[in-house]
């Protein structure tokens, strides 16, 4: 019981703290409303579908772990309150949302056709895939860590570590607007994918694995400095469609290591690619290419 009360207090605190968020209001109101009525113990996927109007396929419920007792409020909002409670669950449809409350709550879950989630704790959406149209504000450190977005998701990374180790695929984008918003490692693939490092030092030191025509834009000052861009997989293949990194901000690509045959960079002007290296066939175009860089 004590645990439950702590949880409810935490949810309420969370909801008020994030009142300015872009998530629909009702999403939080449902959570902030206080104790959720104890529902039936749900033991089958079918029961978990709620009224039948939802397209969700939710398999977080089991005889041992009831969705209802963890705050499932109805057909469309699923609270994944415990680690692994929604592990590998598939959520389907734009009206379906999950609230991933703790680390690993939505680990490896699949959010399909616009189903979405509030990743409300560090690594709560670790290895989760978001597929289809949607927008997500990653505005707390680590909350979106390790998640993958493609086929129409646009995410904004507006605080330090907001999008650490995030993966971006075709038709999707990430905007990294503040320092260290997109640090460490990112994987990006597809010619309609984009990671835009708009903030100063927003992707500084980040190692990008870029494949299948991916696009990276280093706009802010020192935005991609001392990182790397290229494709080298042991198990998977790197496509021949060239990827492109545009270096536009002051010192944006200083010291970046570009590598691999299908990696291109555009150093827009002098002073944006100082000390950048191009190895293993990577090439450079634009006025700011460093001496000795292979020309595209």
Ligand X SMILES: *[C@@H]1O[C@H](CO)[C@@H](O)[C@H](O)[C@H]1NC(C)=O
Q: Could you say which residues in the range 226-245 bind ligand X, by CB under 6 A?
A: 226
Smallest distance, Å, CB 224 to ligand X? 11
CA angle 81, 82, 86 (to 5 degrees): 80
* Beta-strand relationship, 207-211 and 263-267: unpaired
Size of the site for ligand X (CB under 6 A): 7
Report whether 248 contacts 228 (CB < 8 A).
no
Q: Of these, 55, 65, 103, 221, which contacts ligand X (CB under 6 A)?
A: 221
Smallest distance, Å, CB 251 to ligand X? 8
By 3-state DSSP, what share of the chain in percent is helix, strand and coil, each rounded to 5? 10, 30, 60
What is the SS3 assignment for 5? helix
277 binds ligand X per the rule CB under 6 A: no
Smallest distance, Å, CB 267 to ligand X? 13
Contact letters (x/-) for ligand X, 157-196, by CB under 6 A?
A: ----------------------------------------
CA angle 268, 274, 276 (to 5 degrees): 90
Q: Of these, 114, 169, 227, 255, which contacts ligand X (CB under 6 A)?
A: 255
Q: Could you say which residues in the range 43-62 bind ligand X, by CB under 6 A?
A: none
Looking at beta carbons, which residue is closest to ligand X?
A: 255
The residues with which 185 forms a beta bridge, in sequence order, are 207
Q: What are phi and psi of 30, to 5 degrees?
A: -60, -40
Count of alpha carbons within 13 Å of 239, Cβ hemisphere only? 12
281 binds ligand X per the rule CB under 6 A: no
- Comparing CB distances to ligand X, the nearer of 24 and 275 is 275
With CA atoms as reference, report the closest residue to 202 among 171, 233, 173, 223.
223
275 binds ligand X per the rule CB under 6 A: yes
Smallest distance, Å, CB 256 to ligand X? 8
40 binds ligand X per the rule CB under 6 A: no
200 binds ligand X per the rule CB under 6 A: yes
- Comparing CB distances to ligand X, the nearer of 146 and 255 is 255
What is the SS3 assignment for 27? helix
84 binds ligand X per the rule CB under 6 A: no
- Comparing CB distances to ligand X, the nearer of 169 and 199 is 199
> Residue length, the chain?
296
- Comparing CB distances to ligand X, the nearer of 167 and 200 is 200
Smallest distance, Å, CB 200 to ligand X? 4
- Comparing CB distances to ligand X, the nearer of 87 and 225 is 225
**What b/e readout covers 113-149, taking b as 16+ CB neighbours within 10 angstroms?**
bbbbbbbbbbbbbbbbbbbbebebbbbbbbbbbbbbb
Residues that bind ligand X (CB under 6 A): 200, 221, 226, 254-255, 274-275
């Amino acid at each position: 019981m004590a645990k439950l009360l702590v949880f409810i207090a935490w949810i309420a605190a969370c909801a008020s703290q994030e009142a300015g968020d872009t998530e629909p209001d009702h999403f939080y109101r449902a959570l902030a409303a206080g104790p959720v009525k104890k529902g039936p113990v749900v033991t089958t996927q079918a029961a978990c579908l709620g009224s039948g109007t939802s397209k969700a396929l939710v398999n977080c419920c089991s005889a041992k772990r009831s969705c209802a007792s963890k705050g499932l409020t109805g057909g469309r909002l699923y609270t994944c309150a415990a680690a692994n409670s929604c592990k590998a669950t598939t959520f389907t449809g734009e009206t379906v949302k999950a609230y991933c409350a703790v680390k690993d709550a939505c680990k490896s879950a699949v959010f399909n056709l616009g189903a979405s989630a509030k990743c409300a704790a560090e690594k709560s959406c670790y290895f989760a895939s978001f597929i289809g149209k949607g927008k997500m504000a990653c505005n707390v450190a680590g909350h979106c860590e390790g998640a993958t977005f493609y086929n129409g998701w646009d995410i904004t990374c507006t605080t330090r570590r907001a999008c650490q180790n995030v993966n971006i695929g075709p038709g999707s984008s990430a905007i990294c607007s503040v320092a260290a918003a997109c640090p460490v490692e990112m994987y990006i693939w597809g010619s309609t994918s984009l990671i835009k490092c708009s903030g100063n030092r927003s992707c500084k030191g980040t190692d990008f694995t870029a494949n299948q025509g991916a696009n990276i834009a280093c706009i802010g000052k020192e935005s991609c400095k001392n990182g790397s861009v290229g494709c080298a997989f042991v198990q998977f293949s790197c496509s021949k469609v060239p990827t492109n990194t545009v270096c536009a901000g002051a010192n944006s690509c200083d010291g970046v290591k570009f590598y691999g045959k299908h990696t291109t960079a555009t150093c827009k002007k002098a002073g944006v690619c100082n000390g950048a290296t191009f190895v293993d066939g990577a090439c450079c175009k634009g006025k700011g290419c460093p001496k000795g860089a292979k020309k595209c």
